[in-house]
Amino acid sequence: MARADIQRVVAPGDSSACTLGIGGAPTTVLLADGAQFDLTGGEVLLVRNPTGGSITFTVQGPADALGRTGNRTQIVTAGNRAVAGPFRAGTIGWKQSADGKVYIDVTADGLEMTVFAT
């Protein structure tokens, strides 16, 4: 699986300007690939579903020192948006130990994602 890197942009000071694709196009995520982003601290994931059906995304929570996992799953219905985060640096449970990224899986093609750095 070759995960798509989600575009990371600096959040604007004016929250009314927070839309997908600020500073460029959002990343469209495919079922076969999933997605990822670097966890540096304070990232917020904005997700939009432009498709005709509901799609679920799951932020993978790798096992911590005690073997606990905490995947976060959210359904985004057709034409709607969702927000996940903020993801804080040093937060146990989101950062993959192998590469320091946050992994996201989807149940179908088509979700658009942008990561805002706060």
Domain ranges of the chain: 4-14+24-75+82-117
How much is the pTM? 0.81
Instruction: Quick: pLDDT tens for 48-99.
Output: 999 999 999 999 988 777 776 778 899 999 999 999 988 877 656 788 878 8
CB contact at 8 A, 35 and 114: no
Share of the chain above pLDDT 90, in %: 37
Could you give the strand order of the β-sheet that contains 72-76, starting from the edge strand earlier in sequence? 4-5, 35-38, 101-106, 55-59, 72-76
C-alpha span between 81 and 70 (Å, rounded) = 22
Could you tell me the two tokens for 47? 């997700």
17 — pLDDT class (breaks 50, 70, 90): very low
